[in-house]
Structure 1
Amino acid sequence: MTFSIVARCADTAMFGVAISSSSPAVAARCSHARAGIGAVASQNITDPSLGPLALDLMAQGLDAAQAIEQVRARGKHIDYRQVLAVDAAGRTAIHSGPNSLGIWTQATAQNAASGGNLLDNDGVPQAMLDGFLRSAGHIGDRLIAALRAGLAAGGEAGPVHSAGMMIVDKVSWPVADLRCDWTTECPIENVATAWDVYKPQLEAYVQRALDPREAPSYGVPGDD
């Protein structure tokens, strides 16, 4: 009941996760990323602990494939889980347990990996991967392109109701963490609209955290 992509920008080394589902608040449970380390999506009867575990393993020096092998070894009820990872060198790996729901499949390339379960058809992850790899610009733009491509290819077997996009870059917190936790309209387009608003302000928000003395105007009444 989910389709997602984890990705690394080869130009900036930013990492991102984009995800959508018929379940509520999917990004709150399934998206994990850490600057300089990698990005992970943990989905399908979700165990949110598997994302931090995979990131910790990659922080210790394991590549994506080795981290996923350790997740398989250490994770509980791993046959029910689907876990996607990309590491600091752009290497990718995916575990899809045999008890993943409905039509499930995956696709991998350098710098990006996509997977899904309870899909409309088995071409959705490859469509997401192609959407990311064929697009250009900011990693956020490319992640939105991947979500749209997955939906256009069929998406989930039923309507999706939540979506999210997380991006990390250099600092210890996500520089973007945009979510639509529930809608009867299109959650992907809701996130895309939020990204259009947030993208021009992203660097300013980081600067305000690092040194507010050098930050641009806040744009509120009384601000000089």
Structure 2
Amino acid sequence: MTFSIVAYDPREKEWGIAVQSKFLGVGAVVPFAKAGVGAVATQSYANTAYGPQALEWMAQGKSAEEAMELITKDDPDKEMRQVGLIDAAGSAATFTGSACYDWAGGVTGKHFAAQGNILVDEKTVKAMAETFEATEGSLAHRLLQALHAGQQAGGDSRGQQSAALLVVKEKGGYGGYNDRFIDLRVDDHPDPINELIRIYGLQQLYFSKAKPEKIVAVAGEVKETVIQHLKRLDYLKANPSDDAELHQALTAYLHTENFEEREQEQGKIDLEVLEFMKNQ
């Protein structure tokens, strides 16, 4: 009742999984990953022990194919399981047990494995693979586009309910204290993939660094717009008496909205933050 894609970005040294299912909170069951080691998607009567087991084997230097053999060989219910693995070097493996409900299957390619069960047909997995290979950009973006293409091609034959995106990289988490670079879940929603794409956009807005070309002076029309919306949002009661007062109000807004990663020196603003402010 699930389709997923696991993949690796060799340039950024990122490992990730994107998944959708007619199942509540799929992000709590399917995805496992560890920076420098690999990623796992375990589904179809998921054996959640496969996640830590596969990561442990791959941490010891086993390839995705070798880890797949090791985690499934002693499982009496392995023919009901489906798993996708990507190892530290980006080699992929996918397994679909013979007892998985139709349509079920998977495909591997350069740095990815895509798989699904209880699908409308094989077009979902094919669309995920082709889209991942053809899409440029970050690993997260490619995974989400692949997931969306899989849904457009048919997806889970029972419908949609939840989706998740997990990407890890060394010191990629908040403050650099762990490897959870992106960890987003939509647990129950009529359109979970598009909702996941929406909150990924917010995650990028809040936690990505400002683009140099988007940093502009708070002057002229930009200044008027900033003042207008700071007043509307009750950070200013009237027009500021000077630039220091304006900067103080803007700083209060940025910190309230968790835009510390987008904060600029006095007299400048990130246009992506301004666009968010205008739409509040």
Per-residue deviation, residues 143-195 of structure 1 (Å, max 9, x unmatched) = 11011110011001121110000010103431111111011x21001100000
Aligned residue for 1:75, secondary structure, equals coil
Does the C-alpha gap of structure 1 residues 170 and 203 become closer, same or farther in structure 2, counting only changes over 3 Å?
farther
**Structure 2 unmatched ranges of 5 or more:** 172-177, 210-250, 264-280
Mapped partners of 2:55, 2:74: distance in 1: 14
Q: Where does residue 67 of structure 1 map in the other structure?
A: 67
The count of residues paired between Structure 1 and Structure 2 equals: 211
Mapped partners of 2:207, 2:90: distance in 1: 24
Q: Where does residue 243 of structure 2 map in the other structure?
A: none
* Alignment match of 2:180 (pick from 167, 170, 174): 174
**Aligned AA (1:179):** R
Q: Where does residue 255 of structure 2 map in the other structure?
A: 219
Mapped partners of 1:38, 1:200: distance in 2: 27
Structure 1-normalised TM-score?
A: 0.89
Mapped partners of 1:135, 1:94: distance in 2: 21
Mapped partners of 1:128, 1:149: distance in 2: 6
Identity value in percent = 32
* 8 A contact 1:175–1:202 mirrored in 2: no
Aligned residue for 1:200, secondary structure, equals helix
Per-residue deviation, residues 114-166 of structure 1 (Å, max 9, x unmatched) = 00000001121121011111111111111110111100110011211100000
Aligned residue for 1:154, secondary structure, equals coil
Q: What's the offset of the Cα at 1:76?
A: 4.4
Aligned residue for 2:125, secondary structure, equals helix
Mapped partners of 2:16, 2:139: distance in 1: 7
Please identify the structure whose Cα radius of gyration is greater.
2
Q: Where does residue 56 of structure 2 map in the other structure?
A: 56
Structure 2-normalised TM-score?
A: 0.72
Q: Does 1:97 align with 2:133?
A: no
**Aligned AA (1:81):** R
The alignment yields a C-alpha RMSD, in angstroms, of 1.9
Q: What's the offset of the Cα at 1:201?
A: 3.2
* 8 A contact 1:33–1:39 mirrored in 2: yes
Does the C-alpha gap of structure 1 residues 203 and 60 become closer, same or farther in structure 2, counting only changes over 3 Å?
farther
Per-residue deviation, residues 72-105 of structure 1 (Å, max 9, x unmatched) = 1133411111110011111001111111122101
**Structure 1 unmatched ranges of 5 or more:** 205-215
Structure number with higher relative contact order (C-alpha < 8 Å, ≥ 6 residues apart): 1
Aligned residue for 1:142, secondary structure, equals helix
The 4+ residue runs of structure 1 with deviation greater than 3 A are 200-204
* 8 A contact 1:176–1:202 mirrored in 2: no
